[in-house]
Structure 1
Amino acid sequence: MTDFHGGLDLTQDVISYVALGDSFTEGLNDPVPDDSGAARGRFRGWADRVAEHLADRVPEVRYANLAVRGKLIRQITAEQLPRAVELHPDLVTLCAGGNDIIRPGGDPDQVAAVFEAAVARLAGTGAAVVVFTGFDTGFQPVMRHLRGKVATYNMHVRAIADQYGCAVVDLWSMRVLQDRRAWSADRLHLSSEGHRRLALRVCEVLGVAAEGDWRQPWPEELPRDWRLARQEDLHWAREYLVPWIGRRLTGRSSGDGRAPKRPNLERLR
């Protein structure tokens, strides 16, 4: 068993796992590998990978992923939390608040108050609850100004985890994810390799044996030509930053009208 209160009993024959959150937990941008093209547009992500690692160690894993891209914390608690409580899983992962923090006027204290209410309700079910700090945005030029707000929110997350006996996955300290190769082309979501490493870190926190080392150094990379780097920056701004700003200004979300990819507890494999 893990050493946090209400820890996950890995000796069970059946373990049920529900993941809550936004695009980070939905799995953008980690495409499901499928040579036939049938899985085109579907994403895997660290939570799916954690479920797969669990399935390697436990006879039966039942898994639901209720996360939907673009969701704010109040939407997550209103739309996903009741379903998670209804499913009564053994394990819950909750990562929420990031979309609120990065918005203009996002108040980490107010976001944390909503987060705490959600954690209290989940912990009350008896499930093992895992929560996440935010990334250290100091390495991202566009997000660097948010570093103080993220740090404030992280202190709240840690205090809430202590109070309710949750495990914490500390994304802030994962320096290995500060390499550009850990991120997809949009610079907002992890790459497949970033998701793989994060899944290994979550398994480490849970005490689930998994092959691989999330700390493994990245291969040495050749210096990049500054002209190419500038072209990449311009392409990123045009393809990703401008549309993102447009959605913020018009109150739209990438998750509008989108349903969870795994709304029910279904056996994995």
Structure 2
Amino acid sequence: MADYQETLDLSSYAALGDSFTEGLNDPGPDGQFAGWADRLAGMLAARRPDSDFRYANLAVRGRLLDQIVAEQVPQVRRIAPDLVTLCAGGNDILRPGSDPDDIAARFEAAVVELREHVDTLLICTGFDTRGVPVFGMLRGKIATYNAHLRAIADRNGCRVADLWSLRAVHDRRAWSEDRLHLSPEGHQRVALLAARALGLAVDDPEAPWPYQPTPSPADLRRENIQWAREFLLPWVGRRLRGESSGDHIEAKRPDLLPL
């Protein structure tokens, strides 16, 4: 257990973002995806014996930063939560020719707007894609964007969940079959990291994984080929057609509601 002091008194939380925050590939009991933000909300609610904690999740898969700013950020003034998490820009970084400096400037404008209406704002850095097929080529852009995010947090008094430093997600079991979204256990590790960033005393997000034999090179090649056919090629196809996985998808929890 961590030796953190639980100093925040939070009665409401709104999560903004894309598929990462919507919780893709972490099935919830209600038939919707859960994800790290839902799990974090549960941890925060458990700290309030009066059970009046309220939670909204405005995140929608596939959303670019400008869409999040236009659709989700203005809702914060309406619902007035104590805590907001903003994790955005990852889909922009994946776009060919994208500029992490420009994305970061637009991200900071959103942070400045949010800080006018919320006392506690937590942002997330991007994951380290070292050794990840295809996405490993973007590691330099992600690192540049992360450096901006940490500076933005310093300038604007934000808390940071540093996903880049989270070594637990380097294990294959932290990711679902599409290798782009977390598995349920991966979402749990991120929820614990975010909780620690907020000062909660929670279990260690870096707790060792149970032993598992390393797949053979031949098995890895077969898995990579299957992944490319089943997930990578359709993903590239959507990009070429200008389609998004979030087309016609609405936020799963647009208002602050009790847990």
Q: Same fold (TM over 0.5)?
A: yes
- Is 1:45–2:40 an aligned residue pair? no
- Is 1:24–2:20 an aligned residue pair? yes
After TM superposition, the structure 1 = structure 2 runs for residues 61-210 of structure 1, keeping only pairs within 5 Å, are: 61-210=53-202
Q: Which residue of 1 aligns with 2:47?
A: 57
Q: Which residue of 2 aligns with 1:221?
A: 212
Q: Which residue of 2 aligns with 1:247?
A: 238
**Post-superposition CA distance 1:209-233 (Å, at most 9, x none):** 33x3211111121131333322221
Distance 1:166 1:8 in 2: 15
SS of the counterpart of 1:138? coil
Alpha-carbon offset, residue 8 of structure 1: 6.8
- 1:139–1:178 contact (8 Å) kept in structure 2: no
Alpha-carbon offset, residue 106 of structure 1: 1.1
Q: Which residue of 2 aligns with 1:9?
A: 8
Give the TM-score, by structure 2 length. 0.94
Matched pairs, number: 254
**Post-superposition CA distance 1:43-98 (Å, at most 9, x none):** 00000000000111013211000000000000000011111222111000000000
Q: Which residue of 2 aligns with 1:263?
A: 254
Distance 2:121 2:197 in 1: 11
Report the residue type matching 2:139 in the other structure.
R
Give the TM-score, by structure 1 length. 0.91
SS of the counterpart of 2:165? coil
Moved over 6 A (4+): none
- 1:25–1:47 contact (8 Å) kept in structure 2: yes
Report the residue type matching 1:228 in the other structure.
D
SS of the counterpart of 2:21? helix
Q: Which residue of 2 aligns with 1:36?
A: none
Structure 2 residues not aligned, in runs of 5+: none
Percent sequence identity over aligned pairs: 57
- 2:8–2:198 contact (8 Å) kept in structure 1: no
